[in-house]
């Protein structure tokens, strides 16, 4: 073959293909990306980590709630009935507020993963 008559039918498009810019277009069929370096990874988002930390932070208010319920059913010590009610409401309110905020932050941190699943149609 001569240099003026290349064997490639369309040299420019085959040598310099146009890419869409989306990483999922380069994935092999059947590949399930789950690495930390994937651009849609939820583990790269601060909001996800804050949400998970706050979710673990629901344990102390839940402990206050359980303790208040326990002291109300089995009174012991010098606690008055008013303190039980106050601690019960503090436990309920704090557990609910921290749990809702944590759930929202985790949901918000996973927005790019939900977008990726919608674009690619993946179910995993």
Q: What is the pLDDT of residues 35-62, one digit of tens each?
A: 667 777 888 889 999 999 999 999 999 9
pLDDT score at 77: 67
| pLDDT given at position 71 | 85
For 11-49, letters b (16+ CB in 10 Å) and e give eeeeeeeeeeeeeeeeeeeeeebeeeebebbbeebebbe
Concatenating the DSSP letter of every residue in 3-16 gives TTS-SSSSHHHHHS
- Residue ranges in the chain whose pLDDT is less than 70: 1-28, 30-36, 77-81, 124
Q: What are phi and psi of 2, to 5 degrees?
A: -95, 165
Cα–chain center distance at 55: 12
CA distance 27 to 24: 5
pLDDT of residue 20: 62
Q: What is the chain's Cα-based Rg?
A: 28
Give the predicted TM-score (pTM) of the model: 0.69
pLDDT at 60: 96
């Amino acid at each position: 073959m001569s240099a003026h008559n290349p064997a490639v039918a369309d040299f420019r498009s085959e040598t310099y293909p146009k890419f869409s810019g989306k990483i999922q277009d380069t994935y092999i069929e059947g590949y399930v990306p789950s690495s930390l370096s994937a651009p849609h990874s939820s583990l790269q988002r601060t909001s996800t980590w804050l949400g998970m930390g706050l979710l673990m932070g629901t344990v102390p208010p839940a402990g206050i709630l359980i303790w208040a319920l326990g002291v109300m059913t089995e009174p012991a010590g010098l606690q008055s009935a008013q303190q039980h009610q106050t601690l019960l409401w503090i436990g309920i309110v704090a557990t609910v507020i921290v749990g809702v905020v944590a759930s929202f932050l985790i949901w918000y941190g996973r927005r790019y993963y939900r977008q990726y699943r919608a674009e690619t149609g993946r179910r995993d």
